[in-house]
Structure 1
């Protein structure tokens, strides 16, 4: 026998779910995330290409002719064996300020007599091989000082003529690599959970405000218990969000099947990918229900759209701070910060999803899911009580005041 409140919640959930799914606005809701993704992807691709085309730093070699040639030869011999991006070396022939090369003027963009300054010139090596002088900005100077010293030593034959061969014994993985990869997976899971929650939770609030404006919510509240009404609306919007996620996931899978470049490969979480996806779904549902129940409580207290916007802003900022708190706790496992993030209801889904990526234990997730479900029930009940006090009693109270005013005038 299904309890009456659950039956009423199911009726409301089915009604809201069908109404939203078959509305025209739902199509625009599905298309909404595509626009920032397309714009962001295009901006990132263009920015990366522009950066690639423009950022080719060069180190100018302003040494005597024979020393400059030896410096270029040392660069050619050692550059491939050095880690990171080694800048190109170019010989500077233009005279600056007489016999010496004015490196400061060249880097400042001034043209010498008959000379032309290259826009990619980032540093100048002058002086001699025995006493090289590196002229560059502070960050470039610290980065390239050792490199210039090594090349100068090679050019003077102070370094070995050939580098000794190094035997390599490769291993598949290491403890540090596994832990670092799992942290990256945890961070990716937290970011995705946060984006989906913030993108989809606002539907609960907009739906409630619309029904309050049309007085539909008061008719429904007079027919069924308020907590059943709120619970039904929460699960209806959760179902709508799952439909949206299914559509977006299918579109993404289609693009991948057509040959689109996939996301970077993430390290396997400690609980394994199948269970991690299941826990991710459950923690998304809990994060959505927790945030949605707060939005419903706000919608119950607000009477106009302006009040809704004013009251929902603190909750939105709170959710952003909660995400930062859970991310901060990720780097401090076992501390009070970590335990606080696990216990606080709004941050618990984020912290527990990160825990699933780093630790294989299963029982803490059962406890956390039970605690989060209890918090959802408590927030829904408090929101329903606030709604009864602020909305359901507003009409009679105003009526009594109006009658008292008329009697006073009479």
Structure 2
């Protein structure tokens, strides 16, 4: 075992150096910046299109001249309830004419502004005309009329109370914060694994086409070759995670205060040991998925075959994310336990378990279980390659056949 592991480390060092010491790896390391840039441009475009439409939206109240100021003051008071005053379209107050219903329908038909709802009539029995999609706008106008009627009864718009608000920080993370942290942990491992494990396919397929893999298999056991390539690919993936993890760890220093407070609500049940568990479960998830992709790269002879074989595995990965997401939101259920036991969903589900439960001993069992399945997957991938590509059996079978021949 020591010799096999030493041979695997030699191949891992070779693959790691060949991957990292290239300009292409720098582009790969900075590829999330391109993704963030494209997402930012798309978000700004969508936001601009949305704001251009929202700028024309209005809700209208038709009232006598003596009620115009009252309705505007009530509208300003009600908008304090919202986190953003612009969450509802601006209120436009029109002076009442002779035919109120005709005036209201004419406002709904205007093409220079987009009127969703119009209020008219007495405040105690108002009439509201609205578009089919403007139910909330109509409810808001009804509340404006209700509060305006109450103000008229009370005799003024002066506030009768002066609240004194004190912001109190949370000393302990609640179950909601732990549940969100559990979901984000499973999601982060999934996306990192999905983005990084696929590189093992291309490397294996390239070396197979160049006959390098056959040369390595002739020099060292094929299990050492596969395990070494797995370690080499994981080394480059770990460098990627360390680089971006360092940047994200310093992100709270540069974001607005409110955003930092929102992140402060997230927390894990296991406490400071969670980052270590996260890295270990990412390693297990990466090893398991990359071992499967190594088998695909070894068996597939063309890029088309790689794409056809990778698609079902990617769909399978999304299924594992779904199981882990359910486990994050429903800890302790039988389905959550099944997701924690099943080897390919276990790293994601156990990362979520670490956020929800302070017990540590299940993680030791889970890591041993996952290491066992990494070894099983690598062994199966090596034997499939040996029989499917090299057209030979396992070393044990070859020795038995040689003895029988002799």
TM-score range, shorter chain: 0.7 to 0.9
- Structure 1 contact 67–128 (Cα < 8 Å) conserved: no
Q: Distance in 1 between matches of 2:96 and 2:230?
A: 74
Does the residue aligned with 2:63 lie in a helix, a strand or coil? coil
Q: Which residue of 2 aligns with 1:344?
A: 342
Change over 3 Å in CA distance of 1:141–1:133 after alignment to 2: farther
Deviation at 1:383, TM superposition (A): 0.8
Q: 1:168-187 to 2 correspondence within 5 Å?
A: 172-173=169-170, 178-187=174-183
Q: Distance in 2 between matches of 1:332 and 1:251?
A: 32
Q: Distance in 2 between matches of 1:76 and 1:192?
A: 42
Deviation at 1:53, TM superposition (A): 6.0
Q: Which residue of 1 aligns with 2:22?
A: 23
Given the alignment of the two structures, is residue 217 of structure 1 paired with residue 216 of structure 2, yes or no?
A: no
Aligned counterpart in structure 2 of residue 389 of structure 1, from 382, 387, 390: 387
Change over 3 Å in CA distance of 1:87–1:151 after alignment to 2: farther
Change over 3 Å in CA distance of 1:144–1:37 after alignment to 2: same
Q: 1:229-378 to 2 correspondence within 5 Å?
A: 229-250=225-246, 259=254, 265-266=263-264, 267-272=266-271, 274-378=272-376
Q: Distance in 2 between matches of 1:172 and 1:20?
A: 47
Per-residue displacement from partner, 1:135-165 (whole Å, max 9, x unpaired)?
2235532452652343243254269964445
Deviation at 1:378, TM superposition (A): 0.6
Q: Which residue of 2 aligns with 1:404?
A: none
Given the alignment of the two structures, is residue 13 of structure 1 paired with residue 7 of structure 2, yes or no?
A: no
Aligned counterpart in structure 2 of residue 129 of structure 1, from 123, 130, 134: 123
In the alignment of these two chains, the number of paired residues is 383
- Structure 2 contact 284–370 (Cα < 8 Å) conserved: yes
Per-residue displacement from partner, 1:298-340 (whole Å, max 9, x unpaired)?
2232222211111111101111121122112322222121111
Does the residue aligned with 1:80 lie in a helix, a strand or coil? helix
Change over 3 Å in CA distance of 1:41–1:135 after alignment to 2: same
Q: Which runs of 5+ in 1 are unaligned?
A: 111-116, 395-410
Deviation at 1:45, TM superposition (A): 4.0
Deviation at 1:238, TM superposition (A): 0.2
Q: Distance in 1 between matches of 2:23 and 2:74?
A: 68
Deviation at 1:42, TM superposition (A): 3.2
Q: TM-score, normalised by structure 2?
A: 0.84
Q: Which residue of 2 aligns with 1:118?
A: 113
Deviation at 1:94, TM superposition (A): 8.2
Q: Which residue of 2 aligns with 1:401?
A: none
Q: Distance in 1 between matches of 2:36 and 2:77?
A: 44
Q: 1:40-119 to 2 correspondence within 5 Å?
A: 40-48=39-47, 51-52=50-51, 54-55=53-54, 57-81=57-81, 85=87, 87-93=89-95, 98=99, 100-109=101-110, 117-119=112-114
Q: Which residue of 1 aligns with 2:199?
A: 203
- Structure 1 contact 201–291 (Cα < 8 Å) conserved: yes
Q: Distance in 1 between matches of 2:96 and 2:320?
A: 59
Change over 3 Å in CA distance of 1:220–1:81 after alignment to 2: closer
Q: Distance in 1 between matches of 2:91 and 2:14?
A: 71
- Structure 2 contact 185–351 (Cα < 8 Å) conserved: yes
Does the residue aligned with 1:360 lie in a helix, a strand or coil? coil
Does the residue aligned with 1:392 lie in a helix, a strand or coil? coil
Q: Distance in 1 between matches of 2:181 and 2:11?
A: 37
Change over 3 Å in CA distance of 1:282–1:25 after alignment to 2: same
Per-residue displacement from partner, 1:81-114 (whole Å, max 9, x unpaired)?
5676454322124869x5544434422435xxxx
Q: Distance in 1 between matches of 2:21 and 2:83?
A: 57
- Structure 1 contact 62–101 (Cα < 8 Å) conserved: no
- Structure 2 contact 323–336 (Cα < 8 Å) conserved: no
Deviation at 1:281, TM superposition (A): 0.5
Does the residue aligned with 2:263 lie in a helix, a strand or coil? coil
Q: Which residue of 1 aligns with 2:2?
A: 3
Change over 3 Å in CA distance of 1:38–1:292 after alignment to 2: same
